[in-house]
């Protein structure tokens, strides 16, 4: 049972990481995009943007790496994971800004981990993160 409790903790941590300032660093190039949901399939290393389709983002690699670095601490082998999905809702229109210079990201996330035929879901947010765009 401790293993399953640890899996819930991993789910909560991944949801928190996805809705943090780490996400803003990775998603800066999407600041001019409309509000969207990003679905990260961590086992497949794939990210789908609800408006733009498949994307390659550093955050995908970060989340996947974090999961596999910690899965053994939960008493699981990587092969025990059946699915690992993080959904990140990104809102960029909360405060009007000059998006070429700065954007306020509002992040809400959820993470669902499935292992040994059990699912665990956690959520985080909304979190507000200011992101300064690099000078052109």
pTM: 0.87
The H or E element spanning position 126 is strand 118-132
The candidate with the shortest Cα–Cα distance to 37, out of 45, 11, 27, 29, is 27
- The 10 Å Cβ neighbour count of residue 10 is 23
pLDDT recorded at residue 100: 65
Which residue reads 């909560």 in tokens? 12
Which residue ranges make up each domain of the chain?
A: 2-132
The H or E element spanning position 95 is none
Question: Do the beta carbons of residue 112 and residue 4 sit within 8 Å?
Answer: no
- pLDDT tens track, the chain, 136 positions: 446 678 889 999 999 999 987 777 777 777 777 889 999 999 999 999 999 999 999 999 999 999 999 988 878 888 889 999 999 999 988 777 676 677 788 889 999 999 888 899 999 988 888 877 677 6
pLDDT recorded at residue 45: 96
């Amino acid at each position: 049972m401790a293993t399953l409790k640890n899996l819930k903790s991993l789910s909560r941590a991944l949801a928190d990481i996805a809705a943090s300032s780490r996400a803003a660093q990775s998603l800066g190039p999407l600041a001019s995009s409309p509000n969207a949901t990003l679905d990260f399939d961590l086992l497949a290393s794939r990210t789908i943007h609800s408006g733009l389709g498949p994307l390659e983002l550093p955050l995908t690699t970060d989340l996947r790496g974090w999961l596999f670095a910690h899965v053994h601490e939960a008493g699981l082998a990587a092969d025990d994971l059946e699915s690992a999905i993080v959904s990140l809702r990104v809102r960029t229109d909360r405060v009007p800004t000059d998006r070429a210079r700065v954007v306020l990201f509002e992040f809400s996330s959820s993470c669902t981990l499935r292992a040994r035929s059990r699912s665990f879901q956690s959520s985080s947010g909304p979190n507000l993160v200011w992101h300064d765009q690099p000078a052109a």
